[in-house]
Amino acid sequence: MSWIDATVAGLALMICLPSCGAEPPVPAAVPAPPAAPPSAEKLSCENAQRLCNVARSYIKDEEAKELPQLDAVEIGLSCSDEPTRKCALDAAIDRMGQSGKGEWSSSVGGRAQRKLISACSGGYVAACEALFEHQKTAPAWRLGPSAEVFTVACKAGHPMACSRLIGLCKKASCELATAKAALTAGCRDHLCFDGAGHVLEESGDAGGARPLYKEACLKGNSSACASGGSLARAASAEARAADGRELRERCAPAQRCGVFAAQYLGAAGDLSGARDLLDKACNSGDKDACDRLPWVLIQLPKPDSERGVAMFDDRCVKKNDKESCYLLARVFRGGQGMTADKAKSTKYAKAACGQGEKMACDWDRVSTSTPERPILEQIVSGLLSPLRMLP
């Protein structure tokens, strides 16, 4: 091959290489840029998470007296990572009450305290508990932000907050108006009952205790129904009527509040309201309400009065109840809201006498002018007095 041919072949090979399947030369590697250092926030939050976990385990160590790791709580509470924030919050709670020791510390910083207050208001019970236990160590049992928080939590429906609020008020000169408002809004049956008792004990404020007794009664506490009824008698007729209307609207059939409401309504003269409540309670199986219902019915116009007579007649004839027989003898003797009927009056008097009611045994000779308590007064008394014996 001549040098000309060799030159042509070399040039052809150079032209073919890029398009004839040959591998192109590998370019030199470009160095990667240096990795950005982790942000200060990321490092601090990671450290907070690690130290927070360690600190929480140390808290349970009886030998642990100083816990510098808990400085990380302040950082952890501001981290965007939810597990870190949760750990930091729990660490703050543990710090305020060192588990198993009963020793409460005030060494949690302001940010942690604010977070605890926020968590408590949001319904995180552990945070509420820590705040209240911490508050109990304050000089002279002074109320601070935690009491305000627990008022909010109680109103939001957290029973533990209501319970603690009552307990704290028993140890402090707290604002009863604030406590009463919170308790009325959020307490359970026995907590309302306890709160009402505390209000009476501390201030003698029957007007402030009545709403709490009413709430407890509406929630099914029979003792509150009885206690509230006793206070109701000293209230104005307008107040009793207002309470009765509210009870009539809110009372659930399964509750015994029909009896409680009846005493308000009966004492205020709203017998039709008492009838409605007692009917509701009786139909739901409340024997006490059934016992008191005819006392109200008999004072109302027909057909309620006729129904009341029928109920008393059933007790007189079938159950040998001398009081029912004697009541009907009186009703039909002098009218007292019913048409007078001497024959019926004598019939029921004989039945009452046969069952041991001595006042009915010489009925024809008893003067109709013999002074006796009006039946309406007996009705109100009958609605009220048995309540004092309720469990």
pLDDT in tens, the chain (391 residues): 554 454 444 444 344 444 444 455 555 555 555 544 444 445 455 666 665 665 555 444 444 444 444 455 555 665 656 666 676 677 666 666 554 344 444 555 566 667 777 777 676 766 776 666 665 554 433 445 566 666 766 766 666 666 667 666 655 555 556 666 666 666 666 777 877 777 777 667 777 778 778 888 777 777 777 777 777 777 777 777 777 777 777 777 666 677 666 666 665 567 787 888 888 888 888 787 888 888 888 888 888 888 989 999 999 998 888 888 988 888 888 766 677 888 898 899 999 999 888 888 887 665 444 545 555 455 545 544 443 333 2
Rounded to whole angstroms, the Cα distance separating 296 from 314 reads 16
Q: Domains of the chain: which residue ranges?
A: 68-137
pLDDT of residue 46: 62
pLDDT of residue 39: 44
Q: Are 156 and 121 in contact (CB under 8 A)?
A: yes
Place of tokens 């009966």: 266
| Spatial CB neighbours of 226, under 8 Å, sequence gap ≥ 6 | 260, 387, 388, 389, 390
Q: Are 46 and 76 in contact (CB under 8 A)?
A: no
pLDDT of residue 21: 46
Angle between helices 257-268 and 237-250 (to 10 degrees): 150
Rounded to whole angstroms, the Cα distance separating 194 from 191 reads 5
Rounded to whole angstroms, the Cα distance separating 350 from 354 reads 6
| Spatial CB neighbours of 129, under 8 Å, sequence gap ≥ 6 | 93, 97, 160, 164
pLDDT of residue 391: 29
Helix (H, G, I), strand (E, B) or coil at 98: strand
Q: What is the DSSP string of 182-212?
A: HHHHH--HHHHHHHHHHHHHHH--HHHHHHH
Rounded to whole angstroms, the Cα distance separating 206 from 57 reads 50
Rounded to whole angstroms, the Cα distance separating 328 from 308 reads 10
Q: Are 286 and 258 in contact (CB under 8 A)?
A: yes
pLDDT of residue 313: 92
Radius of gyration of the chain (CA): 40
pLDDT of residue 314: 92
Rounded to whole angstroms, the Cα distance separating 222 from 63 reads 50
Give the distance from CA 381 to its chain's centroid. 32
pLDDT of residue 244: 74
Helix (H, G, I), strand (E, B) or coil at 155: helix
pLDDT of residue 11: 40
pLDDT of residue 119: 76
Q: What is the DSSP string of 30-76?
A: PPPPPPPPPPHHHHHHHHHHHHHHHHHHHHT-TT----GGGGHHHHH
Kindly report the pTM of this predicted structure.
0.46
